[in-house]
């Protein structure tokens, strides 16, 4: 597969090459035949410094697995992940500590991602403690600064509370403060707003956009919400059954979707106007299982535009159709 080459002038912070993660599944108790679930299948993309790349797709398409692979919570079956030109798989010992400070993750569920037995101070200071950064006074100053930055002011009112005493939005702010306290250059945000109320969601999104401006962080923003992705992200990658089917500038993807799946996804976004009659998405059936998929286009079974040639053709690769807009479809 030819890699989509980034323009050389840009500083690439994350490069993912042909990344795959297969999980073995037992299809039947008696047959003993091992099948492979292709959670992430041959995914390649890049994130430039200071950029926000949105990873969009429906449940079970492998977005979260991709994020977990990048932060090394899981080991890839094959493929490479380069962060600032160092292969993540090769990192050991002292390098691991630097990696953990460079790359952080914000989790989906703020109710579960904070240890219920720790105070806010301990939670936010934990990355500093385990990495042995600074003296106690410096850590404390950093924690207070970070809490101020994420909008938990005054910090003294929050330092010695427990997570269960905070609201969902406040908890997610704590989780963000904890991720950013080591000043990472790259953050994987795994649906940080999906568990929150709509009213709080905007606040968190604004905060993340603001922090990106202030601290110069690059994000991989994983979400199933195209509106969120459009608001926050410079570029959007659309995933379907473990593969990227379309990748391009946010506005391009939202306004001029090319891949049939992206089109269906965009037509499904609700419009806050009852007068507008929305087109019914014309895709067929449900999501097929990513267990030992056939070597043809993953979207073939549901594609409204599929032609007979698609059935025989191999899985389409991402092709540039101009302006850095990549699409994986035979019909272009």
Tell which one of 75, 136, 256, 278 touches another protein (CB under 8 A). 136
- Select 149 or 327, whichever has its Cβ closest to another protein: 149
| Alpha-carbon gap, residue 166 to 174, rounded angstroms | 10
Q: Which residue shows structure tokens 């962060």?
A: 83
**Per rule CB under 8 A, is residue 160 in the interface with another protein?**
yes
**Per rule CB under 8 A, is residue 114 in the interface with another protein?**
yes
* Cβ 83 vs Cβ 18: under 8 Å: no
Angle, helices 120-131/168-180, rounded to nearest 10 degrees: 20
Binding to another protein (CB under 8 A): which residues in 33-92?
71, 73
CB of 1 to another protein, least distance (A): 30
- Select 116 or 285, whichever has its Cβ closest to another protein: 116
Q: What angle do CA 250, 253, 257 make, to 5 degrees?
A: 170
Spatial CA neighbour of 112 closest among 61, 62, 193, 168: 168
CB of 169 to another protein, least distance (A): 17
Binding to another protein (CB under 8 A): which residues in 254-293?
none
- Select the span of 81-89, 124-132, 216-224, 232-240 touching another protein (CB under 8 A): 124-132
Query: What is the number of helices (H) and of strands (E) in the chain?
Result: 10, 12
* Cβ 171 vs Cβ 111: under 8 Å: yes
- Tell me whether residue 259 is exposed, middle or buried, using C-beta atoms within 10 angstroms of its C-beta: 0 to 12, 13 to 18, 19 or more: buried
- Select 126 or 301, whichever has its Cβ closest to another protein: 126
**Per rule CB under 8 A, is residue 144 in the interface with another protein?**
yes
**Per rule CB under 8 A, is residue 208 in the interface with another protein?**
no
**Per rule CB under 8 A, is residue 95 in the interface with another protein?**
no
- Select the span of 28-36, 84-92, 136-144, 241-249 touching another protein (CB under 8 A): 136-144
* Cβ 81 vs Cβ 16: under 8 Å: yes
| Alpha-carbon gap, residue 49 to 259, rounded angstroms | 27
Tell which one of 66, 108, 193, 243 touches another protein (CB under 8 A). 108
* Cβ 238 vs Cβ 325: under 8 Å: no
Binding to another protein (CB under 8 A): which residues in 168-197?
175, 178-179, 182
**Per rule CB under 8 A, is residue 225 in the interface with another protein?**
no
User: Which residues contact another protein (rule: CB under 8 A)?
Assistant: 71, 73, 96-97, 100-101, 103-105, 107-109, 112-117, 119, 126-127, 130-131, 136-137, 140-141, 144-145, 148, 153-157, 159-160, 175, 178-179, 182
């Amino acid at each position: 597969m030819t890699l989509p080459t980034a323009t050389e002038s840009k500083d690439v912070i994350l490069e993912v090459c042909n990344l795959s993660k297969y999980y073995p599944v037992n299809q039947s108790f008696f047959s003993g035949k091992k099948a492979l679930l292709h959670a992430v299948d041959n995914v390649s993309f890049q994130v430039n410094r200071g950029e926000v790349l949105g990873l969009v797709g429906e449940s079970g398409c492998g977005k979260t697995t991709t994020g977990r692979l990048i932060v090394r919570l899981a080991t890839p079956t094959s493929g490479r992940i380069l962060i600032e030109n160092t292969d993540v798989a090769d990192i050991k010992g002292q390098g691991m500590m630097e990696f953990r400070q460079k790359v952080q993750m914000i989790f989906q569920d703020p109710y579960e991602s904070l240890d219920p037995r720790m105070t806010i101070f301990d939670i936010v200071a934990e990355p500093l403690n385990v990495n042995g950064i600074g003296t106690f006074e410096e850590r404390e100053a950093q924690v207070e600064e970070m809490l101020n930055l994420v909008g938990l002011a005054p910090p003294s009112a929050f330092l010695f509370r427990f997570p269960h005493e905070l609201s969902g939005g406040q908890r997610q702010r704590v989780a963000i403060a904890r991720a950013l306290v080591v000043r990472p250059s790259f953050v994987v945000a795994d649906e940080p707003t999906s568990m929150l109320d709509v009213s709080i969601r905007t606040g968190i999104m604004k905060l993340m956009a603001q922090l990106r401006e202030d601290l110069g962080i690059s994000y991989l923003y994983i979400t199933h919400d195209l509106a969120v992705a459009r608001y926050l992200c410079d570029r959007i990658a659309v995933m379907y059954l473990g593969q990227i089917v379309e990748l391009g500038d946010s506005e391009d993807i939202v306004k001029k979707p090319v891949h049939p799946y992206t089109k269906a996804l965009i037509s499904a976004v609700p419009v806050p106007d009852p007068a507008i009659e929305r087109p019914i998405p014309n895709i067929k059936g449900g999501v097929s299982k990513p267990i030992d998929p056939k070597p043809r286009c993953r979207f073939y079974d549901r594609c409204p535009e599929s032609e007979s040639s698609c059935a025989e053709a191999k899985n389409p690769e991402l092709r540039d159709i101009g302006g850095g807009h990549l699409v994986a479809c035979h019909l272009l």
